[in-house]
Chains A and B, each alone.
Chain A
Amino acid sequence: MKKFLEIVFLLFCAFPIYAQNNSVRTIRGTVTDKASGEVLAGVTVVVPGTSIGNFTDNKGNYSINVPAKDSVLQFSFVGYTTQTVHINNQTLVDVALIEKTQKLDEIVVVGYGTQKKSDLTGSISTVNVNDIQKQAVVSPTQALQGQVAGVDITSSTGAPGASPTVRIRGVGTINSADPLYVVDGMMVGDIDFVNSSDIESIQVLKDASASAIYGSRGANGVIIVTTKKGSKGDATISFSSYYGVQNAWKSSNMMDGPTWSYLRNESLIAAGYAPAIDDPASQPTTNWFKEICRPNAPISNVDISVSGGNEKSNYYMSINRFSQAGTIKKTDFDRVSFRSNATYEAKPWLTIGENVNIIKSNNQAQFEGDEWTSMMITSFMRDPVTPVRNADGSFTKSKFSDTYNPMATIEYTNNTYINYRTIGDIFANVKLAKGLAFKSDYFFQFAYGDGRDYVPVYYVFSMQSNPIDKLYEGYDKGYTQQWSNTLNYEKKFGDHSISFLLGAESYTELYKSSSITATNFPNGDPDYIVISNSLKNNSAFVEGNISEGRQLSGLARLNYSYKDKYLFTSNFRADGSSKFIKGKRWDYFPSFSFGWKISEEPFMKSISSVSSLKLRAGWGQIGNQATVGPYEYLTTASPGKNYIWGGALRKGYSFTSIGNPDLRWELTTTTNLGIDFGFFRDKLTGSVEGYVRKTSGMIMSVPLPGQTGVENYPSSNAGAMKNTGLELSMQYRNMDHAFNYSFGFNFSTVKNKVVSLGTETGEIYSGYFMDSAYLLKMVTGKPVSMFYGNKTDGLFQNQAEIDAQTAQTNVVPGDVRYVDADKDGKLDLYYLGSPLPKFTYSFYVNCAYKGFDLSINFQGVYGNKLYNGPSTYTRSSVGLYNLSRDMIHRWTGENTQFSARYPRMYAKDINNERYDTDRFIEDGSYLRVKTLQIGYSIKKPLLEKISVKSVRIYMNSQNLLTFTKYSGMDPEIGLDGLDRGTYPQARTYSMGLDVTF
């Protein structure tokens, strides 16, 4: 390996530099729009590969001094296709630019460089940034939902500021399957810090032949974000702002006081007890869900940016404030960020630049994870008869159950997290010779988190109480630096064109955290609640953590094309990681891909309707190192193995696991086949892709027999998984008329299969809800997780039906019947479906007419199953907790058989409440109107007088409509498919204003 690095180093130094010729000539001309013939002002005219350039004036005229050796001019203008003209011996060159309708000519960021979209051979999708920026959501990740075929975004909570889960081309591993994000060249773990309106472009590298340049970090795909830069010309000042209100899109479907009281009594009477509620009809109703909700929670956003530049430099600066109140009380998110970047052409051969991003976010949250006590689940469970507060103002205890009072939970939760983050880089670009450039880019990121949680003394009832107040203050610090050095060489000779990239990169990350929990504060005055005021500050509870990781890499890419028809790309990366034992640190990741522009072939020229057609095929191998923890090759001591003697706590350690020196990173091998096409002058474009993605050496904790006494199973490269998928996307654009429109769709389907789980019996159980057994099972040959349990077969209607089976004892008519198909007297176990969707899809329509514009985006998921956790309580036969209104359709006698969908009420029930059955598994398919926006742009003549470039006002709605059969609060609950009482997504209505000066 050392050899390889030495060669890289030598190459960096070895390229010669050509001297420049000083003789020049002046070229003049006019630039027009090809369609209308109107002159174009502000068109950039440059001599490619040099710093020589100029703009057209108001009459579309330009003049430029061109060195004798150069013979090419490049004309570029926003919204138009860049044109390159060979000037030969001319001095007058008029050019007619073509408005950009041909999407395939975009420049695409491919990782350590750019490429023309039409030259791509790997699977790279470009996101329509305009659609991202339209949405009233906190992060670009959320806005990505439904934008790209094969990129599935799932929110596991509707809490403000929360970031969703991103999966590119299915679930590739049972471990971390999060993609890598690259923002302006820096590898980061998320893009939540990026303000949507600062984004210039987003590319998604989906297959290994595209992402192999990121080696051991690219296995789950790469999302490359490039932020806006200033452009030459007058400064542009943009102001945009929106304000909206949000509400839970659905209200809960729980019973009122009288109805629940009747059913509670019914259940007790059925079990032979006296009724608990004397006068059901006069019982009051508390709608707990309504109580915890904050109606019309505001969301707002303000962006201001200034950008501009001249021949030698450009700049972009922006400031943003986003703030979102949650639809549930005491959940809030607020973010202020600014971004500044600039590039300077310091010398004709040297360009330098910088990029700085500073962000502060502030988050107040409720604890959602606990399915026993979270404010969501208790708002369903708590009986409706009990009011929120007693007459004396204290919070109520329920007479009927131990359910927490959700309003008290919210009242006593004071949990905030403030995050400060600085991300930036400084770079130098050196032109060494014609076609040869060197770039050195140094990145850093400093993140500092400050968490605080104060729990006061309170007593609602014995279980919901806190006898000693306590304050948690936790800090975490992350420091990342990355230094990338790359050398780029481009050369065209005859029909051959070649480009070559060679690079070296070092990467360091350091993470530290510590926290203090102190108790007993002298009084409840918030100003006094700081650690130093704790009466027991000498016995505070402290925790801390530190981890460090380093990576060293060499990378290379070769692009070759012949006659601009046959394309070839190969990526290679060598990665060394500090996570592994010496001698096993390095690994190598290659990829190859081919493209054939069929439409450039002579035989295709006669088919005029086909404007572009390209066939792509690729193969590559990449690693997934996120799944390996550092030092897993060592057997290490874990603290906290404590016991008492002599009346005192004795703190101890034990070796809970066994180190595995053979551990490697997971390897993903992808084969990809795709067709890109364009018809009718590329009005209709699209692509179809199929792929096979195999993960081998999947890191698993292979369970060991209990008799080994190993507490944490060691990781080993034991598993394998396979994803086979198909993606389809198409769009049609017609901009030829005053009424212009576009529409399109994305579709993707992935078939996931576990190939190996390391052991022969290979079964992994996971996911439970409250007291249930595990609900999900993973076995070889099936998708990564499957619901597993008993099947129901309606209700027993009469004694004869009960006598006809032997598997269930102690049942009476009205109880749930489970399937015992083989009649062996034991209930059969079945696979009850997968939480992974069969396919995901989205479609959109955009249109505009005389200043008005309308866009609508739909996003949907089909064929996944969800476990409706709360319904195990709200459709319970016992009726101890509040019930769903659905329970009106319970069984009350044999004659109710045609309407009864739910079992009888019965206080001593143990049959109907079985958790691991399909009774609680529901279809999770949904279709959402993700965004609907109507806007109006004020006409230019009106604006010019007040020197405003553009003004647009709009109304927007997020999650306007949701179509689903799922009966829980929200079908979008995260990838494990277990609904634990999920914070529902908000429906947002907002109004916005965009102005540019």
Chain B
Amino acid sequence: MSMKKIFIYSAIGVLAMFGLQACNPDDFLDTTSHNITDASFISNDSTAMYLLPGVYSPIGWMGYSQYLEWAIGDVVSDDAVKGGGGDNDQPEMYDLEHFQATDATTSLNTVWDNMYVGINRANRLIEGVDGNSKVSSALQKRLIAECKFLRAYYNFNLVKVFGRIPLVDHILKPSEYFNPRNTMDECWAAIESDLKAAMEGLPLKSEMPSSDLGRATWGSAAALLTKAYIFEEKWAEANDLATEIIASKEYRLQPNYGDLFLISTDNGMESIFDIQKKAFVTTLWGDDAQASTLEVYQRTRWDNLGWGFDQPTQDLYDEFEEGDIRRKWTIISDGDTLWKGTADEEIVYTRWDAVHNPDAVTGYNKRKGTIPASQRGTRDDQSPLNIREIRYAEVFLWQAEARAHTGGDWQSPIDSVRYRVGMGHSPYVNGLTAVYHERRVELGMESQRYWDLVRTGRGNLMTGYTDDKRYLPIPLAQIQLNPNLEKNPY
């Protein structure tokens, strides 16, 4: 062999070896994932905590608490009409309002998906920390309780909207993806058991450092469980638990009713569970967007600043007794002056111009949740006001309702609510009539009315309602994905 040949041979050999990354080809193909996997994510208490915000976040999404809850609770009911910019502004809400929603109504599918995202995130965290030696037992207990509260909250919302649902209390295996709907009893049992477990593991609001304010408490779980008992017509249990909440002295009524829906009373003395809202960024979209669109939806369309939805009806207006200040804190009438004496003072026109605003249907706008212009986010469609999901006044009204059924003293709890607004005893002598009236005026425009009517058999107060309409259609998209889901008769 000549030197040249040898040189060529070796040159090629070296080149070829480099070309093949002569080491083990599999090592060459090993690259690092820059995402953390489920197996390694929870390594200690603080990493476990990183999974908690995600379990909460769906409660604030636009689908339910910022849309469907009031679209059904207020607009479908006799308390409000859709409003907005004409019948074709939010046509789905128009359909809901006129009891002509279909299984193709996308907002229903969105809510179905959103609630189950919350449930799945709760299940992931529960299974991630439960018995995990890397997480302290105190934190395990708290996180599991918190997740169970949230899981119950998501289930409750689903049950309110759809009735029976498929219950999911663990990370599903592929063989369980197509489970059918459970019975109503099983649904309530699941909600009850989660809330009872949550009460065990959650701290009192008074024990909570201010840096945790907004997370679920013993009171949140107890109040939601009371509400479940009311829906289930378990009057004795409802009365007992409401009484226990009142006895805990954890909450007080806000002295001035008018202060209830101000940023300054967010997570305040009357608040049992608030959905947290803040305008951190200048957009409604993205992970850091935590503001609420509720206010821009309801604000009058005058000067195009608001969208003019959720307009209270004359019927609701007339429900208030003369002199009940709750009316003006619930309903804005044409020409009302808001924020008197402040820099934000403004006169609101709810029926200013029939030509340019042919859509001021009732001539009223919603007052609750309206905040001064200066407190809105940097864009005027972003409200940093918390959404009051459960407030203390309702605990009294649950207590009164339970007692009206069981023959107890329903007057005192109603009086507690009425005294705050300077009203004497209820003018109604029938306990249930008094409770129903009081709920309507105390909780007016707080997304309660529809469910109050249907659960008490008064759905016929709504034009177009039949008993088949109590639960909305199971979304077709879901039935197509899971043919085992039975339809609703809607």
Task: Give the B-binding residues of A (Cβ under 8 A).
Answer: 1-2, 5, 8-9, 12-13, 17, 19, 268, 271, 273-276, 349, 402, 430, 432, 438, 440, 461-463, 465-468, 470, 483-485, 504-506, 541, 546-552, 576-578, 582, 585, 630-631, 634-655, 659, 703-711, 759, 761, 763, 773, 878, 907-910, 913
Contact = CB atoms under 8 A, between A and B. Distances in A.
B16 A12 contact: yes
A641 B482 contact: no
A557 to B, nearest CB: 17
Nearest to A276: B355
Of the listed residues B19, B34, B112, B116, the one surrounded by the most CB atoms of chain A closer than 10 A to its CB is B19
Contacts of B29: 550-552, 576-578, 585
A321 to B, nearest CB: 38
Contacts of A653: 36, 41, 50-51, 54
A821 B364 CA distance: 44
A673 B17 CA distance: 40
B210 interface: yes
A509 to B, nearest CB: 10
B177 A705 contact: yes
A711 B277 CA distance: 23
B253 interface: no
Given A652-B57, A709-B123, A910-B87, A645 B36 contact: no
Nearest to A552: B25
Contacts of B363: none
Of the listed residues A349, A643, A763, the one surrounded by the most CB atoms of chain B closer than 10 A to its CB is A643
B409 interface: no
Contacts of A711: 117
Contacts of A878: 88
Given A13-B13, A432-B8, A646-B213, A5 B482 contact: no
A8 B20 contact: yes
Contacts of A484: 19
A642 B19 CA distance: 47
A506 B28 contact: yes
A631 B35 contact: yes
B15 interface: yes
B141 interface: no
A271 B358 contact: yes
A926 to B, nearest CB: 33
B166 A707 contact: yes
A13 B16 contact: yes
Given A13-B13, A467-B378, A654-B121, A706 B116 contact: yes
Given A653-B41, A654-B54, A655-B38, A706 B109 contact: yes
Contacts of A638: 35
A909 B60 CA distance: 33
Interface in B352-375: 354-356, 358
A432 B480 CA distance: 65
Contacts of B132: none
Contacts of A461: 304
21 contacts: A8-B20, A271-B358, A276-B355, A551-B29, A552-B29, A578-B30, A585-B29, A637-B38, A643-B54, A645-B215, A646-B210, A652-B57, A705-B478, A707-B168, A709-B117, A709-B118, A709-B119, A759-B481, A763-B480, A908-B87, A910-B87
Contacts of A5: 20, 25
For the complex of A and B, list the 5 residue pairs with the smallest distance between their C-beta atoms, beginning with the closest: A709-B120, A652-B53, A641-B54, A640-B287, A636-B35
Contacts of B87: 908, 910
Given A276-B356, A654-B121, A636 B12 contact: no
Nearest to A4: B25
A704 B177 contact: yes
Contact of B19 (A275, A504, A585): A504
Given A9-B16, A705-B478, A646 B212 contact: yes
A909 B88 contact: yes
Nearest to A10: B16
Nearest to B17: A9
Interface residues of B, number: 99
A463 B282 CA distance: 12
B52 A650 contact: yes
Contacts, number: 249
Contact of B12 (A438, A582, A710): A438
A763 B41 CA distance: 35
A8 B21 CA distance: 13
A652 B123 CA distance: 16
B355 A706 contact: no
A455 to B, nearest CB: 10
B389 to A, nearest CB: 14
B481 A636 contact: no
Nearest to B15: A440
Of the listed residues B166, B287, B475, B483, the one surrounded by the most CB atoms of chain A closer than 10 A to its CB is B287
A891 to B, nearest CB: 19
B337 interface: no
B340 interface: no
B214 interface: yes
A649 B28 CA distance: 41
Nearest to B16: A12
Contacts of A1: 25
Given A548-B31, A646-B213, A652-B50, A585 B276 contact: no
Given A645-B211, A646-B209, A651-B53, 7 more contacts: A271-B358, A430-B8, A504-B19, A585-B29, A643-B290, A907-B358, A908-B86
B267 to A, nearest CB: 9
Contacts of A547: 34
Contacts of B104: 773
Nearest to B120: A709
Interface in B34-50: 34-39, 41, 50
A725 to B, nearest CB: 32
A202 B18 CA distance: 31
Contact of A585 (B12, B26, B112, B481): B26
Nearest to A913: B88
Nearest to A911: B88
B326 interface: no
A873 to B, nearest CB: 13
A273 B354 contact: yes
A546 B209 CA distance: 39
B380 interface: yes
Nearest to B303: A462
Contacts of B30: 578, 582
A643 B106 contact: no
Nearest to A637: B36
A8 B29 CA distance: 19
Contacts of A2: 24-25
B124 interface: yes
A416 B40 CA distance: 41
Contacts of B41: 637, 653, 655
Contact of A550 (B31, B35, B118, B477): B31
B42 to A, nearest CB: 10
Given A13-B9, A635-B38, A649-B278, A654 B304 contact: no
Interface in B189-214: 209-214
A637 B35 contact: yes
Contacts of A913: 88
Given A276-B355, A640-B287, A654-B54, A13 B28 contact: no
B5 interface: yes
Given A273-B355, A645-B213, A709 B168 contact: yes
A402 B118 CA distance: 35
A638 B287 CA distance: 11
B16 A485 contact: yes
Interface in B443-484: 475, 477-478, 480-483
B51 to A, nearest CB: 6
A459 to B, nearest CB: 11
Contacts of B22: 9
Contacts of A649: 278, 280, 288, 290
A552 B120 contact: no
A462 B20 contact: no
